[in-house]
Every structure is written in structure tokens, then in C-alpha cells.
């Protein structure tokens, strides 16, 4: 009998290891032969640890299971997968939070054993790579272009066009594939979940990118705060090498692709692609001026594809099922699906993959089920700490890059952080500037000095010192930072501040 207990960071932090041990002990004591599979999380975080028991009709879920629940669950029929225990959730696939999703990228997470290549293959894994091996590099790039995939790190630049730029650089030189796994946005965890629960998907996506542009070496620049992902990725890479999915001759293609993980050191700015490259080269993470674009002069001055984990992770599906199939989902110029991460003050936090076009309200209410505190929601920040706070009257906006941009907001990396009506939005505006003072790389003046001055001006406004004059000054300072900063750090820090000035002015001056 197969029993699943997740082994990703979220489940572990909720005591999954202890629960797994207790389940094994009970099985041994009863002389039951069970196969305990450490799967990844399904992304239904409020139910972790979510224990699943395989039955003839599918997987029955129990959760959230704490160590002290195990005895009673076993007595109530956990091993038989039939129980009227209050923690029994019925068929996992029938839980509406999961059932209503459109999982193209995250189709395997929570289902498979992350490190099992056999499991990965039996759930559609490596089909995209086998397909890519049979195609010309240009045909691979064309497939990605046809999918309409846009960079999921936040900037939403068309991935196929980025790959084309690197593809078109002369092939005699060394090129690189770099995965930005320095997931730094508040409330985001989709990269981590993908890496911990389905690491071969990222390996496959990066290998396909290598074949497409003629790069033989890839690096995953991994957030140092992700030790579980670090262990899983390294193990997955060595298993993939052993089975010929990486290395000197990828699947008999005669083409090489090698992959290494590099640990970051905890700087938010190193998620910006040019400081990331500096850091990867062993230097301090200072932003480089663009142009030249990394696609032309990137790592060690060579043509480099830099993409986020989720962009690479979308590629195996696109190659396996065709770009058109992926493009069939979504709206306008936002094609495919978006892995949305629901966090902050929310009752049911977790990962929700849906086609673009779903409204923010549907995510907050139908999936999130309102706030964790039960109080009314006041503001939502989508896309990380550099994006606008959105008031109630904007929540019917569909998840679409252009629709959000029109409001001066952004989708970014898909993180949704919820605040209830006790939040002090003036404090949130202050936090945006303070965050920039701490995280700025210091290279350009508007960001380095502007954020410090911005913090001081906000403090004066909140202390009631000439609020009108200081509000004008703050607005001017914000404009200078937007126009004059070298990268998105200083260039976008004003967005949350300006949104507070516009939509929650009373909180700022209170």
C-alpha cells in the first residue's frame, strides 16, 4: 500500500517528518507492508502536512495531520483509506481548490516522488526534451515563440524572442543558460515548490534552452534560504547525468549540456539579472548598465539566456504538447497559465495555477476564502514589494499583464499578498522605501540616496510636519527614482508608495 507524506519545505516546517515516522512505526507494529513515498506538496498549504493514501479509486487525503493526530487516524482507518475522521478530506483530486485549477506546469507536483526519474517519465516527463532533440534549434525557438510564453520572473518579456537573440549570436563561442532561482519577492514560493517537488522539469526546460541556443553550460543561481531545494536539485542533477539527460551527449543528440547549482548569499538585488551575473562571476552583486543585454553579453561576457525558474519550467509542456496548445490558454497577450502564489492574511494560502484572465477577486474569494483573521480585506499587493497596493475597486481586474499595467499595477512573479482592515498603509509605504534603503546595491544615486530621503520624508509626513509640502516633495522624489534609477529596484520602489498616496491617502497622513 502506498502512503504519501510530502517532503518539501512547507510540509517539513509543519512537522511532516515526524508524521511520516509515526505512520511507519504504526505500520510496522501492525505488520502492514506499506510503501511510504515522500512526494512534494500539492500546494494546498493550509492542509499541510497532507497525508495521502492510495486506494483503488484514487488517493484519499488527510490533513492537516499533526503528530498527535496519527494514533487516532490509524484507529479510524487511515491505512484502509476509509475514514469518517474529521481530518479526512475525501479524494484529493476532488478538493475544489485543486480541481478548479489548470495545471500545465505544476501538473506533477504533489503526485510524484520528486527524485524518481521513472515517476517523472511516467507522468509525461522528458517528452519535451526527446522532441527537442529531434528538432533544429530554430524550430525549438519557434515553438516557444508560438506558445506566447512571457518571462515569468516578473518583467514578462517574450521568452521566444530572448532565445532568438541568443540563438542568433555566432555559434562558435561559449554561450550560457542561467536560471534565476533567487526568488526574492515577498509572498512568493512557486520557484521553490517547482524545484523541490519537480526538479527534473527545470532541468529539462534548461536543457531544451541549451539545445535551442547552442549553450553547453547552465547554472541555477539558487536563493541560499532554500536548503531543501539545494539538496534536491543537486541530487536530481547527478541522477539526470547518470541517465544521459545531461552531460556530454544529451539523449544521443551529439550535443552537450552540463548543469550546476550556485548558491546566492541573501541579497535581494542579486535577483536582478545583471547583479546576478556579477555574483555568479564571483564579484559583488552590483547592477550593470543595459545595454549590452545579457542575451548578447552576459555571463563572463558571453551570450546568455537568463530566465526565471517558472519560464524554464513551462518549456517541457510547450515542446511536448506544442506551442499552440499552451497559447490556447489565457487572454490578450498574456498566454498560457500563471502560477499564482496566495499569501499574507489569507485563510487558504497556496499555489494556484490558472490561465490568465481569472479575476483577482475570484482568486481571493473562491480560492483564498477570505482573510485568515476573518476581518474584511483592505489591500492586496500583487507582484512583490516593488508593485502597487490595489484597493477593493480594482479586484475585478483580470490577471493580464496589460490590464494590470493600465492601473499602474503589475503581476510580476504572481505573488498575491493580502492585508486586512487593520493594516496601516502609511506604514506599508514607509516599508517600501525602507526595503530599498536596505537592499539597494548602491550603484546609482536615485536608488541609494533617494530611498533614504524618501524614508525621511515619509517619516516627516507621518509626524505631521508640513504634510502638504512634504507630499509634493515625495511625489517629485518618486518621479526622479522612477526615471533615473539604473534598474527596477530604485525604478519600481516608488510604485507601492505612490499607490498608497493615491488610494489610501488618509493612512499616510494619519
Cα separation values, 307 from 228, 274, 368, Å:
21, 12, 29
Only segment of 73-81, 266-274, 323-331, 436-444 that touches ligand NAI (CB under 6 A) = 266-274
Tally of CA atoms within 13 A in the half-sphere of 20 that contains its CB:
20
- Residue closer to ligand NAI by CB (options 271, 450) is 271
Instruction: Return the residue nearest ligand NAI (CB atom).
Output: 154
The answer to the question of residue 306 lying near ligand NAI (CB under 6 A) is yes
- Which DSSP string corresponds to 445-458? HHHHHHHHHHHHHH
Site stretch for ligand NAI (CB under 6 A), options 130-138, 151-159, 330-338, 459-467? 151-159
At closest approach, how far in Å is the CB of 370 from ligand NAI? 26
Question: Rounded distance, CA 510 to CA 501, Å?
Answer: 12
CB 144 within 8 A of CB 212: yes
The helix or strand, by DSSP H or E, that contains position 340, with its residue range, turns out to be: strand 337-344
Q: How far from 444 is each of 46, 333, 477, 501, 510, CA to CA, in Å?
A: 42, 33, 14, 25, 32
- Out of 185, 196, 353, 439, point to the residue binding ligand NAI (CB under 6 A): 185
User: Which residue from 49, 148, 383, 494 is in contact with ligand NAI, where contact means CB under 6 A?
Assistant: 383
Asked if 109 touches ligand NAI (CB under 6 A), the answer is no
Q: Looking at 157, 300, 332, 469, which residue binds ligand NAI (CB under 6 A)?
A: 157
- Per-residue HEC secondary structure of 262-324 comes to EECCCCHHHHCHHHHHHHHCCCCCCCCCCCCCCCCCCHHHCCEEEEEHHHHHHHHHHHHHCHH
Contact yes or no for 477/469 (Cβ under 8 A): no
| Residues 164, 339 contacting (CB under 8 angstroms) | no
In the complex with ligand NAI, the residue whose CB is nearer, 329 or 404, is 404
Our CA angle for 389, 394, 400, nearest 5°, is 90
What is the spatial distance between Cα 92 and Cα 41, in angstroms, rounded to a whole number? 12
**Among the listed residues 218, 316, 350, 384, the single contact to ligand NAI using CB under 6 A:** 384
What mask of x and - would describe binding to ligand NAI in positions 277 to 296, judged by CB under 6 A? Answer: ----------------xxx-
Cα atoms found within 13 Å of the Cα of residue 59, Cβ hemisphere only? 20
Whether 314 contacts 201, CB under 8 Å:
no
Q: Judged by CB under 6 A, how many residues of this single chain contact ligand NAI? A: 27
Q: Does 155 bind ligand NAI (CB under 6 A)?
A: yes
Report the residue from 81, 110, 151, 349 that binds ligand NAI according to the rule CB under 6 A: 151
| 303 touches ligand NAI (CB under 6 A) | no
List, in sequence order, every residue forming a beta bridge with 382; answer none if it has no partner: 416
The minimum distance between CB 312 and ligand NAI, in angstroms, equals 13
Beta carbon of residue 293, minimum distance to ligand NAI (angstroms, whole number): 5
Is there binding between residue 162 and ligand NAI (CB under 6 A)? Answer: yes
C-beta closer to ligand NAI: residue 7 or 194: 194
Check: CB of residue 101 under 8 Å from CB of residue 348.
no
Q: Is 154 in the site for ligand NAI (CB under 6 A)?
A: yes
Q: Provide the 3-class DSSP secondary structure of residue 398.
A: strand
| C-alpha closest to that of 316 among 207, 216, 235 | 207
By C-beta, is 344 or 412 nearer to ligand NAI?
Answer: 412
Determine if 273 is a binding residue for ligand NAI (CB under 6 A).
yes
Mark the segment that binds ligand NAI (CB under 6 A) among 139-147, 211-219, 333-341, 380-388.
Answer: 380-388
Residue span binding ligand NAI (CB under 6 A) among the ranges 155-163, 372-380, 394-402, 418-426: 155-163
Q: In terms of CB distance, is 266 or 376 closer to ligand NAI?
A: 266
Cell of 234: 543537486
Q: Does 349 bind ligand NAI (CB under 6 A)?
A: no
| List 26, 108, 251, 413, residue binding ligand NAI (CB under 6 A) | 413
Q: How near is the Cβ of 18 to ligand NAI at its closest, in Å?
A: 31
Q: Which is nearer to ligand NAI, 157 or 171 (CB)?
A: 157
5-13, 31-39, 181-189, 454-462 -> range binding ligand NAI (CB under 6 A): 181-189
Q: Counting every residue, how long is the chain?
A: 510
Distances (CA, A) of 400 to 13, 186, 326: 33, 20, 16
Residue in 51, 364, 429, 488 binding ligand NAI, rule: CB under 6 A: 488
Nearer to ligand NAI, 184 or 349 (CB): 184
Residues that bind ligand NAI (CB under 6 A): 151, 153-155, 157, 161-162, 165, 183-185, 188, 271-273, 293-295, 306, 383-384, 386, 410, 412-413, 487-488
Amino acid at each position: 500500500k502506498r502512503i504519501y507524506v510530502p517532503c518539501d519545505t512547507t510540509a517539513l516546517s509543519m512537522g511532516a517528518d515526524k508524521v511520516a515516522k509515526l505512520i511507519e512505526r504504526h505500520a510496522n507494529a501492525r505488520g502492514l507492508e506499506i510503501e511510504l513515498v515522500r512526494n512534494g506538496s500539492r500546494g494546498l498549504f493550509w492542509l499541510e502536512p497532507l497525508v495521502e493514501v492510495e486506494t483503488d479509486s484514487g488517493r484519499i487525503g488527510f490533513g492537516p495531520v499533526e503528530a498527535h493526530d496519527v494514533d487516532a487516524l490509524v484507529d479510524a482507518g487511515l491505512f484502509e483509506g476509509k475514514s469518517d475522521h474529521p481530518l479526512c478530506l475525501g479524494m484529493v483530486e476532488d478538493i475544489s481548490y485543486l480541481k478548479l485549477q489548470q495545471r500545465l506546469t505544476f501538473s506533477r507536483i504533489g503526485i510524484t516522488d520528486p527524485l524518481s526519474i521513472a515517476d517523472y517519465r511516467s507522468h509525461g516527463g522528458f517528452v519535451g526534451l526527446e522532441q527537442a532533440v529531434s528538432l533544429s534549434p530554430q524550430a525549438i525557438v519557434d515553438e516557444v515563440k508560438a506558445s506566447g510564453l512571457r518571462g515569468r520572473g516578473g518583467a514578462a518579456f517574450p521568452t521566444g524572442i530572448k532565445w532568438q537573440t541568443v540563438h542568433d549570436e555566432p555559434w562558435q563561442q561559449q554561450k550560457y543558460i542561467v536560471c534565476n532561482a533567487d526568488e526574492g519577492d515577498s509572498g512568493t514560493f512557486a520557484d521553490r515548490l517547482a524545484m523541490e517537488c519537480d526538479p527534473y522539469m527545470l532541468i529539462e526546460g534548461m536543457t531544451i534552452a541549451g539545445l535551442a541556443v547552442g549553450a553547453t553550460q547552465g547554472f541555477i543561481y539558487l536563493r541560499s534560504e532554500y536548503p531543501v531545494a539545494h539538496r534536491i536539485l543537486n541530487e536530481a542533477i547527478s541522477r539526470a547525468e547518470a541517465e544521459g539527460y545531461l552531460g556530454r551527449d544529451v539523449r544521443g543528440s551529439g550535443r552537450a549540456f552540463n548543469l550546476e547549482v550556485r548558491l546566492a548569499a541573501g541579497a535581494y538585488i542579486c535577483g536582478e539579472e545583471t547583479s546576478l551575473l556579477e555574483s555568479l562571476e564571483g564579484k559583488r552583486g552590483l547592477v550593470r548598465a543595459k545595454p549590452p543585454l545579457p542575451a548578447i553579453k552576459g555571463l563572463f561576457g558571453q551570450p546568455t539566456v537568463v530566465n526565471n525558474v517558472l519560464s524554464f519550467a513551462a518549456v517541457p509542456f510547450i515542446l511536448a504538447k506544442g506551442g499552440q496548445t499552451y497559447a490556447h490558454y489565457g487572454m490578450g497577450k498574456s498566454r498560457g497559465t500563471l502560477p499564482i502564489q496566495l499569501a499574507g492574511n489569507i485563510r487558504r494560502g497556496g499555489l494556484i495555477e490558472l490561465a490568465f484572465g481569472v479575476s483577482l477577486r475570484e482568486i481571493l474569494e473562491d480560492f483564498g476564502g477570505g482573510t485568515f483573521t476573518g476581518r474584511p480585506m483592505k489591500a492586496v499587493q500583487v507582484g512583490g514589494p516593488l508593485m502597487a497596493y490595489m484597493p477593493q475597486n480594482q479586484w475585478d481586474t483580470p490577471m493580464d499583464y496589460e490590464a494590470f499595467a493600465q492601473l499602474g499595477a503589475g503581476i510580476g512573479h504572481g505573488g498575491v499578498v493580502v492585508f486586512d482592515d487593520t493594516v496601516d498603509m502609511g506604514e506599508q509605504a514607509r516599508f517600501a522605501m525602507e526595503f530599498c534603503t536596505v537592499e539597494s546595491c548602491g550603484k546609482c544615486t536615485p536608488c541609494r540616496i533617494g530611498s533614504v530621503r524618501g524614508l525621511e520624508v515619509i517619516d516627516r509626513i507621518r509626524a505631521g510636519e508640513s504634510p502638504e509640502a512634504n507630499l509634493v516633495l515625495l511625489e517629485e522624489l518618486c518621479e526622479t527614482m522612477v526615471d533615473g534609477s539604473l534598474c527596477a529596484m530604485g525604478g519600481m520602489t516608488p510604485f507601492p508608495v505612490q499607490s498608497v498616496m493615491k488610494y489610501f491617502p488618509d493612512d499616510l497622513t494619519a
